[in-house]
Structure 1
Amino acid sequence: MPEALEGVRVLDCSQILAGPFCSMLLADMGADVIKIEKPNGGDDTRRMGPPFIDTESAAFLAMNRNKRSMVLNFKEPAGVEAMKKLVKDADIIIENYRTGVMERLGLGYEDLKAINPGIIYCSVSGFGRTGPYAKRGGYDLIAQAMSGIMSFTGVPDTPPVKAGVPIADMNAGMFSVYGILTAYINKLKTGKGQYLEVSLLEAALAYTVWESAGYFATGEVAGPLGSSHRNSAPYQGLKTSDGYVVVGAPNQPNWERLANAFGCEDLIAREEYKDNAGRLTNRAKLESELEEKTTLKTTDEWLEILEAAGVPAGPILNMEQIWADPQIQDRGMEAVLEHPTAGTTKNIGTAVKLYDTPGRITEPAPLLGQHTREVLLDAGYSEEDIAALVESGAAVTNDI
């Protein structure tokens, strides 16, 4: 079957997580992603770990499948010129250099727009390309802290806790995909490319939907609630005899089914629990009363009872358990690839299922500079030209 983004070429000058996650998602859908790395080690993620698989970090293998790698040195004029030559046939550029760096190199949007007016140019940064923090460096942890996420993650009366996954980085990558594809659709209609930018801070802030809404409406500053929901109860993890079960009862019918399933029918008519507002106000007491029942059975026993009752519920799974789960296996979420030096590796599969033009994971993360020669030959360089670039330090090849 064809791939949705077949024929779309992406020049990815980003590294670590947000930008590479964006370009990986595009590559999974068929885009030709050329990962342009710096000399002397390439993407910093190549050295992040442990664990390492042979000479490659697991982190790099996870974020860079389906891509080609070339090494260009932008400190050398010939490296900049090579990049400009590649831009002529490109559709999309992704970069996450500090504000002003690409412009000083002569590789900013206006520079490359003059070469290719249809180019879609995406900049990813910590705080955005304008404003008082524009020149600050930014990381996921800082964005989680400054967006408010760390102020209401965790349980009450404990030190600040970040989300267990790099949510600011990942969401910035996802917003970048959204922005790029929106710009690409507009280009198909108008013929015009454009510049767009995404920041980790705003990508994290965009996820504070309930907390910001509550503050706008009431002025109340949200705090941590553990596994509980800010607007619904019970919607949380409850103790069982051997662990926890998470339950969702965000509306009255689900609440009544849950109470009946737990053998707490008397709570339904209780004035303090008669509606969601009351259950939220008395959340701590309700949790205690429910756990008097839930701690009498195991998690598996409750899951069977709750499923039969039509109550949304689930276990809390660790990495070993989720990758053995039959639903995950059935949905093809474990991708197996053969890497030239690391051997057999596994990746997370595609979360979006297109039925006519499905995404594919066919190629492992590339070795540093593995495709430099291939890409330059495609761009019209001769073998002699490539040798000269390598000799000058403007490019690095690593043919296998």
Structure 2
Amino acid sequence: MLPLENFKVLDLSSYFPAPFSAMMLGDLGAEVIKIERTGNGDAQRILETATFISANQGKKSVTINLKEKAGRDILYSLASKSDVLIHNYLPSRAVKLGVNYEKIRAANPSIIYCSINGYGSSTGVGDKPLHNVNAMAAAGTLALSGELDGLPSEPGVWIADLAASMYAVVAILSALMLRYKTGVGRQIDVAMVDTTLAWVSPSIIQYFLTKAGKEKKLFSYGGYGVFKAKDGYFTLAALENKKWSRLCELLGFREWLTDSIVNSIEWRKENCRLINKRINDVLATKEIEYWLELFYKNEITAEPVSEILDLVQNPYFLERGVIREMQVASQLNYYVPFPVKMNDVEFSRMCKVPNPGEHTEDILGSILTTDQIQKLKAKGVI
């Protein structure tokens, strides 16, 4: 049995953060019904195929034209029988389409209503659109990325999108627990800028402790970071004093251990660039495998930098079951299922992505007659 079995989620969203949240609820056992526009469905199907696939597996698809009153009435009927509704419309757009909280709550006072957008719904900038890179810029994440003397750089992972998704799921599960206790539904307002800011919290504290900016970014230590061996890149994290001492001995920097000032955490932070350059000069003389074996043997944390092909062939990931095969356009591909283990619970996901409107008749058959469905299809409402 899965935790959210018999729960129903309406997913009105597009792009990544909100659909990914809905998919995670599906991983936990909920039935997730994706409400798409009539015709070709979610625009992300064409614009960003990989993004769409990674955030919409295991869902059912119903196409509804929410610009039509008949379409909105269908949505309200579905909402009356659902536990959660998720969307990523800007506040004014939600009102225009009739999917704002007041309308949905009127259909179902006990529903958990979650909106995810850039700046939330409670301030004057709520209708300002943004994407992942914009949210990272606004929340200070980009300023902490990249080379110290170079341009800010966007990480390869969508930090702002994922932060919003994770906090939305936590909030939804919390609201479901509150409803269990009180019987009352909740409105959840997730702003991507806010949730990204939460992940910047350690750097904010660090800044005011040291009164310095990017050059004092979190974990700027000698012996910590990405290093280049003879045949590629790997990471090294000799943070603790005992690991730092072992590293110095192994690499021939014993002089760094004899001076109490030089061997301090403060010195390692102040001189991290110089220290890491000297360390890298040594590491560049041998292959990654040599260094990993040496560091593992001496309990110094080190890991190679994995490429995509490395991930899908990694024995660890395969044994854990967090890399699984699927077919996309008749070709072998891979997906990552819900990655957390729980005893006596088997989290599973139907990796298939639904076609637009694939489940329209099945889902709407619970609230409409066959004749009504055919008439609505003829009018372009569904």
TM-score (norm 1): 0.90
- Which residue does 2:59 correspond to in 1? 67
- Which residue does 2:308 correspond to in 1? 319
User: Distance between the aligned counterparts of 1:375 and 1:11, measured in 2?
Assistant: 12
User: Distance between the aligned counterparts of 2:317 and 2:196, measured in 1?
Assistant: 27
How far off is 1:324 after superposition? 1.1
- Which residue does 1:376 correspond to in 2? 364
- Which residue does 1:360 correspond to in 2? 348
1:236 aligns with 2:228: no
CA 1:388–1:216: 2 relative to 1, 3 Å: farther
Contact 2:8 2:32 survives alignment (8 Å): yes
- Which residue does 2:38 correspond to in 1? 39
1:213 aligns with 2:200: no
- Which residue does 1:53 correspond to in 2? none
- Greater CA drift, 107-116 or 77-86: 107-116
How far off is 1:244 after superposition? 2.5
- Greater CA drift, 17-26 or 253-262: 253-262
The aligned amino acid for 1:61 is: I
Give the fraction of aligned pairs with identical amino acids, expressed as a percent. Answer: 29
1:167 aligns with 2:156: no
2:238 pairs with 205, 226, 249, which one? 249
User: Distance between the aligned counterparts of 1:304 and 1:99, measured in 2?
Assistant: 55
Q: Please tell me the root mean square deviation across aligned C-alpha atoms, in Å.
A: 1.9
- Which residue does 2:381 correspond to in 1? 394
- 1:175-214 equivalent positions in 2, closer than 5 A: 175-214=167-206
1:351 pairs with 339, 344, 347, which one? 339
The aligned amino acid for 1:293 is: V
- Which residue does 1:93 correspond to in 2? 85
How far off is 1:376 after superposition? 0.2
Contact 1:272 1:282 survives alignment (8 Å): no
How far off is 1:41 after superposition? 2.4
The aligned amino acid for 1:323 is: V
SS of corresponding position for 1:192: coil
How far off is 1:169 after superposition? 0.9
Contact 1:245 1:302 survives alignment (8 Å): no
User: Distance between the aligned counterparts of 1:26 and 1:233, measured in 2?
Assistant: 41
Contact 1:87 1:112 survives alignment (8 Å): yes
- Which residue does 1:398 correspond to in 2? none
SS of corresponding position for 1:208: helix
Deviations for 1:162-185, whole angstroms, at most 9, x for unmatched residues? 111111111111111011011111
User: Distance between the aligned counterparts of 1:44 and 1:207, measured in 2?
Assistant: 30
Deviations for 1:107-160, whole angstroms, at most 9, x for unmatched residues? 221222222121000000111112232111111111111111111211122223
1:137 pairs with 129, 143, 153, which one? 129
The aligned amino acid for 1:391 is: A
Contact 1:146 1:201 survives alignment (8 Å): yes
Unaligned runs of 5+ in 2: none
How far off is 1:295 after superposition? 2.0
- Which residue does 1:222 correspond to in 2? 214
1:294 pairs with 273, 283, 295, which one? 283
Contact 1:210 1:230 survives alignment (8 Å): no
Deviations for 1:36-83, whole angstroms, at most 9, x for unmatched residues? 01123222220124xxxxxxx233222111100110101111100000
The aligned amino acid for 2:115 is: S
How far off is 1:232 after superposition? 4.1
- Which residue does 1:54 correspond to in 2? none
Contact 2:8 2:84 survives alignment (8 Å): yes
How far off is 1:202 after superposition? 1.3
Contact 2:228 2:284 survives alignment (8 Å): yes
How far off is 1:283 after superposition? 1.0
Contact 1:256 1:268 survives alignment (8 Å): yes
How far off is 1:224 after superposition? 8.7
CA 1:219–1:253: 2 relative to 1, 3 Å: same
How far off is 1:345 after superposition? 4.2
- Which residue does 2:317 correspond to in 1? 328
- Greater CA drift, 31-40 or 239-248: 239-248
SS of corresponding position for 1:82: helix
- Which residue does 2:100 correspond to in 1? 108
User: Distance between the aligned counterparts of 1:337 and 1:325, measured in 2?
Assistant: 17
Aligned length: 382
CA 1:201–1:223: 2 relative to 1, 3 Å: farther
Contact 2:232 2:288 survives alignment (8 Å): yes
- 1:256-295 equivalent positions in 2, closer than 5 A: 256-295=245-284
2:117 pairs with 110, 125, 145, which one? 125
- Which residue does 2:6 correspond to in 1? 7
Contact 1:238 1:244 survives alignment (8 Å): yes
Contact 2:31 2:59 survives alignment (8 Å): yes
- Which residue does 2:293 correspond to in 1? 304
